[in-house]
Amino acid sequence: MTASTRWSDDTFLDSLRLHGDARADACVAELNTSSDFAALFKQMTYNNAPLPPETPRPIAEFCAATAACPRLETDLAAHPDGVDRARLERGEVVFLNRSTQFCLILLAKSLPEGYSAPCLGEILSLSGELHHHPYRRIVGVVQLVVNVCAKGGFEPDGKALVTAQQARLLHAGIRRIVPPRLPHYEAKYGKPVNLEDMLATIMGFSLLLIEGMPKLGHTVTEPHAEDLYYVWRVFAVAMGIHPPYEENNGEWVPANLTEAREFYQSYQRRHYEPDPSKNPHGVALARDNHQMLIDLLPKGLRFPPFTNLSGGFMTQLIGHEGCERLGIKPIPSVPPFSWLAYGSLGLLMWVGRVWDRLDPNGTLHYRLDELVLQKMVTKEYGGAVTFKIPRNLQQVRELVEQPVQARRDDDVTGGPRMPRPGAPQ
């Protein structure tokens, strides 16, 4: 039996719930009366041009202080710049070589798992974003994952580092608007978008993807899994999961997958709600996510048993108990449709292996996977998702730009869906 560490220590984990992001919070506090910075964040997303001279001082200072890739103190002995660049590259390739499978796991496991924690569900429900525009949040998450795992993402002005800066400011904005809208939240759950919840979200993009692969009949070797986790560990530190103002301190992020698993088991024990009646926001979010997966089917296939594929994959990935705590009816795997679904995934993996042999440098495979994922984002948004500090902080709940294909869920269902419990009107 493995000895427990701080990642099972409730006192330590409770302390993480008291922390937000001191540097980003201070920046946003100074922007309270500033003008709209949406154009600035678009520039940061679409090109690597220097910040314009008219950039407000708080933004300029924040970007200067957070622009560099973290120099992890644990890595300095072996790597003078504080990060293992070769390992980052290997981790990026691990994701892109399995991007189709990982994205399925992201949608059918990582996101629903997060909805099992009421402390996350209440924050995610604050804007009504997933309910009214389910594709926005999902595509926004895909965009984030693409950026973090993009080749060269941790180089100067790389997509991963810019995404980390934008996410930090977005989270700081949310922390500003939660107290008046959810006055009970902090006493019950701790600081909004606190470090324990942020760390659990990072686990959803890394650990849960890795653990979902065997449930789809595929495996990721332990070295490859550790390389992929390393990418997200560096991103977690870049995104502000560290002691206040200690940008290079990675001690508040699990060092490896063993520690990551221990942390997430603790998070499940501490925050998952088994009774769906006590987690109405999480249940509503999971229901909307489930419906969105069905809506992704071609119109000609939106009838049973094809519509059971969404629930079938969720049952396969989070189990009967996981579905039941979210109020979703578990669906057992039923041939031949499950064979077709899993066989399609297997075929994609086989094609990828053949392609790797034909293209030993991995250039074509890497670019195709990146193009497929980025096209998924472009189709919905007409371009990359950008995060912004709006004209007033109440508008931060909008989170992302209006998609080109506006209100796609209304088109599918014939009208807006009913409000979720407690959702702002």
Q: What is the largest CA-CA distance in the chain?
A: 62
pLDDT under 70: residue ranges of the chain: 1-3, 32-51, 127-137, 333-425
pLDDT at 288: 84
Q: Determine the Cα angle at 311 with ends 331 and 373, to 5°.
A: 150
Q: Is residue 221 domain-resident?
A: yes
List the one residue out of 151, 142, 148 whose CA is nearest residue 238.
148
Q: Is residue 18 domain-resident?
A: yes
Rounded CA separation 250/73 (Å): 7
Residue length, the chain?
425
Range of the domain at 349: 6-411
pLDDT at 130: 46
pLDDT at 103: 84
Q: Is residue 304 domain-resident?
A: yes
Rounded CA separation 140/57 (Å): 28
List the one residue out of 312, 364, 318 whose CA is nearest residue 338.
312
Which alpha helices (DSSP H) does 126-158 contain, by range? 129-132, 134-148
- Locate tokens 């934008």: which residue? 166
> Is omega for the bond preceding 336 within 30 degrees of 0, making it cis?
yes
Rounded CA separation 288/129 (Å): 10
Q: What are phi and psi of 277, to 5 degrees?
A: -70, -20
Q: Is residue 417 domain-resident?
A: no
pLDDT at 304: 78
pLDDT at 291: 83
Q: Is residue 254 domain-resident?
A: yes
Q: Is residue 334 domain-resident?
A: yes
pLDDT at 352: 52
pLDDT at 384: 52
Query: In this structure, are residues 240 and 168 in contact, taking their beta carbons and an 8 Å threshold?
Result: yes
Q: What is the pTM of this model?
A: 0.80
Q: Is residue 198 domain-resident?
A: yes
Q: Is residue 338 domain-resident?
A: yes
Q: Which residues of 203-214 are buried (b: 16+ CB within 10 A; e: fewer)?
A: bbbbbbbbbbbe
pLDDT at 311: 85
> Which amino acid does the sequence have at 339?
W
What is the tally of structural domains in the chain?
1
For 277, the token pair is 């009646």
